Structure 1
Amino acid sequence: MAALQADRYRLLHPTWGDRYGMTHIAVSRDGTPVTVRVLASDRPAPRRAVIDLITGIRHPNLATVRDVLVDGRVAIAADAVLGRSLRRARLGTDELLRVGSGLTGALTALHEHGVWHRTLSPSTVMLDDLGRAVLTDVAVGHLLDLPGSAADDWRALAELLSTVWRNTHGRWRRPPPTLRDVWADTMARARDMG
């Protein structure tokens, strides 16, 4: 793995890791910023058709997978998304609608190719400098053969948007009515009854 990374990408520093592997900030030979995700599991090398499939999916709300490196371990090189994750994001209604729309398009593009994301969470969604939502870790679930389906991805998206909404707006409960609200409601009903 080190030889392939050294040949194509220069790892600068690790950014974060989880049970699926470690993500590094890196640069390609032409100086383009990328992320290299070294998978934790010793999986068999993916077939060329799988690599071609994953590297061929394009959508403005997906971090493009540039390469899948295989040398003892599997690593995924993808375009770096400069911005912040949704993990602690606080978004207004219009921003949340834009994020949801962008992620819907990204998941649709994946599903049209028979690829499920399988690890969708606020940590795998970045807001770039323009405020565009970009889905990362596109190939991790597919290459690790994690269980999942398109329905699971849609459920995860609904949970993600709900979480961001709650982080921003608190609980979904309406505030308790004031005496004035109760009075106005009672008077409106009385007028309607004639």
Structure 2
Amino acid sequence: MDLELILPVRNGEDGVREQLAAATTWLLALGVAAGVAVVDRGSSDRTVEAVDEFAAQTLVPVRILGCSASGWGAAALRGVRTSRARFVVFTETPDLADRIRELDHAVRVLDSGQHIVCLGPAGRRLTVLQRGVAELLFSDELPDDAGFVPRLRDIPRYAGIRMAAHGSSRATAVDATLVRSR
């Protein structure tokens, strides 16, 4: 699998089907092998059942797993650590249909040698990372929500990690990036 959307949820029974419908439509349009990992953060409603019902009806692989640690970041790390995809994606916005061009561009930027791509302003941010880099960063500092921009501290562990970031939501704007190299 090339790409996996990590979607931490808690008590999302009412909205998770719509989120998954948007996400799977989005991922099918991308044209790469992609899936969704829903990480349940201890829901007390029927979130798990809703995800299972949706997963049985879609062409995109959807898996659900639990996370006993609290917080969005712990769930994100659980999703990353169990993923087999080359890249993982996090997004703040449920309206994914209009973001396919951005995601396609982000994947091409990652394929060209970047390790992290962040697109869009706060509230609409799309963050795509190489899975191994995500695991390394999240092991040091957990993000607090889907709109995170990874902090690359000047330490030997992070030497050589390259990040492209742009505040515009237009995919073409990512070419004017801030790149941190070795």
For normalisation by structure 2, the TM-score amounts to 0.32
Specify which structure has the higher proportion of strand. Answer: 1
Higher relative contact order (CA 8 A, sep 6+): 2
- Larger of the two Rg values belongs to structure: 1
Specify which structure has the higher proportion of helix. Answer: 1
